[in-house]
Amino acid sequence: MYMIRKILPMLLLLAIVTEIVVAQKPLFTAPLGVQAYTFRKSFPLDVAKTLDTIKMMGFTELEGGSGKLSSEAFRKLCDERGISIPSTGASYEYLVKYPDSVAYKAKILGSNYVMCAWIPHDKGVLTLANAQQAVEDFNRAGKILKDNGLTFCYHAHGYEFQPHENGTLLDYIITKTNPEYVSFQMDIMWIYFGGGDPVGLLKKYGSRWKTMHLKDLRKGTAKDLTGLTSPENDVPLGTGELDIPAILRQAKKTGIKHYFIEDESSNVMEQVPQSIRYLKSLKN
């Protein structure tokens, strides 16, 4: 009895210490990635120096293409800096017309994913006809990319939340595309801007989401279904309206492994490091 009374406080203390240690584990444990569009002003001036900046900030993954450089030359510059390119992009028009070329360039870059960030539509309103055409085009191009060992991801941009039947046109696009050929990239800010719930959609469609753009929306910003807002409404992660910790927790459960910070503001050299510090500060 004496020994039990002596051991119990020690076990209780151990349990408390263990709980504290577990609670202090980092929430964000994925490789640090960035979307090349963040540095759209500096890449055209000097690709190598821009990649040096990206490396200096601590990024090891980049989503983007080679710009005016050949895919081989851009891949070499990234390799020299320890930066991989798990995902690259293609415009809707180029993807539809030249899916084999898209696949060829992506494979040279070493990418596993190809994303498309915009469905053409008139007058700022996505229609059912636009969504139906996109479903057809995505299925066809996505099959070609899969045949080349790549995964196609449509990057939802917020204008897809037009009401349709019991849901939205985003629901229509996700449910009508073939899961074997079409996956999705969640830009958490654009999803939220269009009236969607990032956590709810991660839960609803699970593994259809493959990659993620991390960005935050300035508090008080007016929202609509245009998929467009001032670049200056991009603010450092953790300072805007989105519940970043909740989204990251669900994204981890969903199985997303590649996250790309994207900052479209004119102040990326200050805001991006702030976003990185915020991500690293988060605890489970």
Check residue 11 and give its pLDDT: 52
What's the pLDDT tens digit per position in 212-233? 999 999 999 999 999 999 999 9
Which is nearest to 158 in space by CA: 218, 245, 217, 220? 217
Q: What angle do CA 14, 15, 18 make, to 5 degrees?
A: 85
Other C-beta atoms lying within 10 Å of the C-beta of residue 55: 16
**pLDDT for position 124:** 82
Sequence-separated (6 or more) residues with CB below 8 Å from residue 213: 35, 155, 185, 186, 187, 188, 189, 190, 259, 260, 261, 262
pLDDT at 1: 53
In terms of DSSP bridges, do strands 216-217 and 234-235 run parallel, antiparallel, or are they unpaired?
antiparallel
Per-10-residue mean pLDDT, the chain, length 284: 55 51 81 98 97 98 94 98 98 98 98 98 93 98 98 97 97 98 98 98 98 98 96 98 98 97 97 98 95
Is 66:73 a contact under the CB 8 Å cutoff?
yes
CA distances, 5 to each of 17, 19, 208 (Å): 19, 22, 53
Per-residue pLDDT of 174-210, as tens digits, reads 999 999 999 999 999 999 999 999 999 999 999 999 9
Cα dihedral: 92, 97, 103, 104 (round 10): -130
Q: Give the number of other CB atoms < 10 A from CB of residue 223.
A: 14
What are 110-119's pLDDT values in tens digits? Answer: 999 999 999 9
pLDDT at 17: 43
What are the residue boundaries of the structural domains of the chain, listed by start? 33-281
Q: According to the model, what pLDDT value does residue 5 have?
A: 59
- Would you say domain 33-281 falls under CATH 3.20.20.150? yes
**The pLDDT of residue 24:** 81
